[in-house]
């Protein structure tokens, strides 16, 4: 299927590794031009070169910076001639116990996983509506649907974003102008973040990493972790010309791990 986004400009945040990179790769394969961001310059430049190799005709522009800061967002937006597609993403907050978190911890999580995506949408969706095409995908977490105790900062901040998006996506000045806004909720995907989280769990439980990894792998009916390319393919479809009637949705991609009917 031709997704109908050749030549569109996409801003994909936090995309030198993992899920953001999977999304950028799928969009580049479809012929979109991408601006990709991350804080680490070297890894970002390497990722940009590898993305470019997927489709030499596409434009791939790396912009180093912290997407949770106003300066990082300004630089990323300035590098994109126009934003037709916006994929918001940033690192997840650390696990822990809410008794140990203070106001500064909460503000960091809310800044990164709620306010940064909202600021990026604020900067882009009205332009999308004027041009009659826009796709926003926010990378959130399966924890929005099935909260995990130790990820309280993530559960809280991302639920705030989810509630906000539910209202924004239904604004007629956006939905009636072919601007869609959806959230993608990853379950367990084989990325550096997953490995780091599981190393911490293994240390806390006094178990070998492999034991924790294997037990988690078997939790989903699919009996495996997701691959970032699978996540990217779902993202690219939501960003496609064919997905104009899908908005305000929360797509869980978790190999069947969530046990509910809805
Ligand atoms: P990852 O493998 O650690 O990759 C994170 C990417 O984001 C890297 O490119 C990183 O590069 C960049 N990044 C992090 N913070 C940034 C910032 N402030 N500004 C710009 N770039 C930033 O993580 P992932 O597994 O792809 O996870 C992506 C998001 O999905 C996270 O919020 C995570 O919590 C969430 N999630 C992941 C899973 C999973 O199974 N993987 C499940 C649920 C939710 P730099 O470090 O160089 O900036």
| Predicted confidence (pLDDT) per residue in 169-211, tens digit | 999 999 999 999 999 999 999 999 999 888 988 998 999 999 9
pLDDT of residue 163: 98
Q: What is the spatial distance between Cα 242 and Cα 239, in angstroms, rounded to a whole number? A: 8
Q: What is the pLDDT of residues 96-129, one digit of tens each?
A: 899 999 999 999 999 999 999 999 999 999 999 9
pLDDT of residue 150: 87
By the 8 A CB rule, do 252 and 259 touch? no
Q: How far is the CA of 191 from the centre of ligand 1 (A)?
A: 9
Q: Give me the count of residues in the chain.
A: 262
Q: Which of 21, 50, 146, 193 to mutate to test the pocket of ligand 1 (most atoms within 8 A of CB)?
A: 193
Nearest CA residue ID for atom 36, ligand 1? 141
Q: What is the pLDDT of residues 29-87, one digit of tens each?
A: 999 999 999 999 999 999 999 999 999 999 999 999 999 999 999 999 999 999 999 99
Instruction: Report residues whose beta carbon is within 6 angstroms of any ligand 1 atom.
Output: 14-20, 37-40, 43, 66-68, 89-92, 139, 141-142, 186, 188-189, 191-194
Q: What is the spatial distance between Cα 256 and Cα 242, in angstroms, rounded to a whole number? A: 25
pLDDT of residue 12: 99
Q: Does the predicted model carry a pTM greater than 0.75?
A: yes
Average pLDDT, the chain: 97
Residues linked to residue 185 through DSSP beta bridges, in sequence order: 252
By the 8 A CB rule, do 176 and 167 touch? no
Q: How far is the CA of 234 from the centre of ligand 1 (A)?
A: 17
By the 8 A CB rule, do 160 and 93 touch? no
pLDDT of residue 204: 86
Q: Which residues contact 75 (CB under 8 A, 6 or more apart)?
A: 63, 65
């Amino acid at each position: 299927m031709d997704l109908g986004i050749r030549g569109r400009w996409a801003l994909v945040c936090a995309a030198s590794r993992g899920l953001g990179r999977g999304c950028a790769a799928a969009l580049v394969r479809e012929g979109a031009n991408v601006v990709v961001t991350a804080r680490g310059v070297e890894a970002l430049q390497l990722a940009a070169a590898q993305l470019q190799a997927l489709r030499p005709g596409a434009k791939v522009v790396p912009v180093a910076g912290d997407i949770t800061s106003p300066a990082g967002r300004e630089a990323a937006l300035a590098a994109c001639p126009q934003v037709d597609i916006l994929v918001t993403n940033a690192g997840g907050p650390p696990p822990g116990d809410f008794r140990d978190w203070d106001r500064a911890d909460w503000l960091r999580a809310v800044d990164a996983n709620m306010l940064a995506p909202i600021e990026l949408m604020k900067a882009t969706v009205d332009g999308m509506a004027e041009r009659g095409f826009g796709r926003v995908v926010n990378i959130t977490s399966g924890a929005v649907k099935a909260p995990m105790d130790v990820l309280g900062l993530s559960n809280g901040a991302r639920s705030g974003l989810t509630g906000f998006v539910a209202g924004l996506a239904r604004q007629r000045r956006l939905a009636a102008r072919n601007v869609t806004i959806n959230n993608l909720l990853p379950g367990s995907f084989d990325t550096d973040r997953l490995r780091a989280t599981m190393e911490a769990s293994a240390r806390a439980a006094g178990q070998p990493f492999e034991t924790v990894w294997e037990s988690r792998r078997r939790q989903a009916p699919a009996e495996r972790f997701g691959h970032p390319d699978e996540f990217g393919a779902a993202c690219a479809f939501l960003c496609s010309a064919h997905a104009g009637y899908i908005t305000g949705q929360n797509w869980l991609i978790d190999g069947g791990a969530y046990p509910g009917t809805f």
